[in-house]
Structure 1
Amino acid sequence: MKKILVTGGLGYIGSHTVVELQKAGFKTVIIDDLSNASVDVLDGITNITGERPDLEILDLKEKEAVSEFFNKYTDITGVIHFAASKAVGESVENPLLYYENNVGTLVYLLKECSDRGIKNFIFSSSCTVYGQPDSLPITEDAPVKPALSPYGNTKQISEEILADLCNVSDIRSISLRYFNPIGAHESAEIGELPLGVPQNLVPFITQTAAGVREQLSVFGDDYPTPDGSCVRDYIHIEDLAEAHVVALKRLLSEENKERFEIFNIGTGKGSSVLEVIRSFEEATGLKLNYKIVDRRPGDVTKVYADTTKANSELGWKASRSIKDALSSAWEWEKQVRGID
């Protein structure tokens, strides 16, 4: 049974991916520093799968601790790397933190993988690398634009590091460029639980519905879109998690066509902010208190994926609807808040 290291495995995407890995028969070990996650997530994973992953609480910025981890776990055959800081605004205010935490830790990890013969590496990337696209839907061949934030730049730099390393080593890597993950596991055992004020739309929606937030702000209704609000590609978290397992199996079976591959992971369909709000209201029967406010600096007007490459090369396709995602997000929010 192959053992897979999942960094940031108690986070939102990481925890759902651990579940899918264990369902697929992999053993998992998680590294997390608990800076943006709770150790309680381990119980949720265990309740879903019946198996408790190994957990090592450590900071990947501590180079010696990373080396000691690999001395302890000598049977790792692949790495899925989620651990990173991810708030765009914070990255603008504190760029050095982001370069150290997102780029420095990747270098430490890859050094250990290279030295120890661990060849299979999945990287958690983002559609932010495309910026404001020239045309839609976005294919993997679309130009990578100058980053709009240090966070976005760390994703670009990380992909360049991986491409360079794959050219001169035995490491094979797949970079998955996510669009907008939403929702929760169907069991409501794990889901998105942001610390502090949510940075993303759907947690803000569910917290507003639960009464935690008084009102939801919609940033602009004057964009050149059908209803004036920004358009994004919202993908169910379980679909996204499954993509990591498919990508990992591709590397383990050496079916990759290049040493470094890139895939868009989205639905291929754009939904506006106001459409998401309406879908939530239809899925739950609740009315949301929201208001239109000024545009937010840096927001891209429209972004959605061309998923042809992932569909044909990986044999993966998103199957769950936006209503499925929003219903699961609300069930998770109710469970967290103790709402009947």
Structure 2
Amino acid sequence: MVVADRVGDGDDRQEGICREIAERQGLVIDPAEPVRPAPPRTSTVGADPSSLSWLLRFGMPEPAGRTGELMQRTWHRVLGDLRTRTNLDAYVVSVCALLFAVLSLVGDVLSQRLQLTVVLAGVGLLVFRITLPERRAADVEAVLHDRADLDSVPLSARLAGAREVAVFAPSGINLLSSGTCEALRSQVLARADGKVRVLLLDPSAAEAVRVAARQLDEGQEFSVESLEPSLHTVVSRMEMMRNWNVPGSFEYRLIDFSPGFSMFTVDPGTNDGTLIVEFHAVHGRHTGTRMHISLSRASSNRWNGYWIEQFEHLWELGRPPVN
């Protein structure tokens, strides 16, 4: 039975080598039948087609190419874990094991007692890691909500003990109501270290207001408010708050574009802080159907920090109101 249909273009030397390799791999070749050339294949390692590529086609492993790709993916995975502080215990144990293995090659650098202590500590750490609950992919419905979920937690409860609040919204008419402003005054601004920052769309940026109104007003099937008058109402409210005589500090700024989302943060950057991002989208039945996501350091340190940076960047782009 002929099972080799590899190579070369009539070159006796290459065919002889090919037959020898085939025999070593346990293949049966009829001496009377020539080895037929295989379809051409591009070499992945840049070898000369007349020498190495036909060997690769014969089933020998590729040097360097796939190994290099695997190593690159491994490094990317490790660096990604380190950035997100994932599997740190396993990496520490692995590094210690590798270090002790290297040191053991150069003699009695480390005492057996120390080696045994480190080994037992590593085993204990890995065993403890096995007992931790398995991390599962989050249920989308448990992460994404509409405004009904916001109403389930009273604002006074969200502000209890808060030292800092930051808000960004095109108009903020729904969030920055009279009741909310009073809650900010009595809970956050009543503290000497209390701080409230509000960022709104600039009413004087006519084109930005027009574009935002097209998205926020015309994109709702059942609108009950219009952006421009709502914005003027809230800006007037902010001016009154700026003149309050309170222990804490209050500041608001105006920005000349709407990035398509709103933010509400309580004690951003702290372990107990919360951050809510609401996405405006381009169409909906009413504002209550808008999707939002709630973040904290515990739920995702990475994305919590990401959105905090987004607010700080927008804040720097905003301008203080003109007296």
Normalising by structure 2, report the TM-score.
Answer: 0.28
Q: Which has the higher contact order (CA 8 A, sep 6+)?
A: 1
Larger proportion of helix: 2
Larger proportion of strand: 1
Normalising by structure 1, report the TM-score.
Answer: 0.27
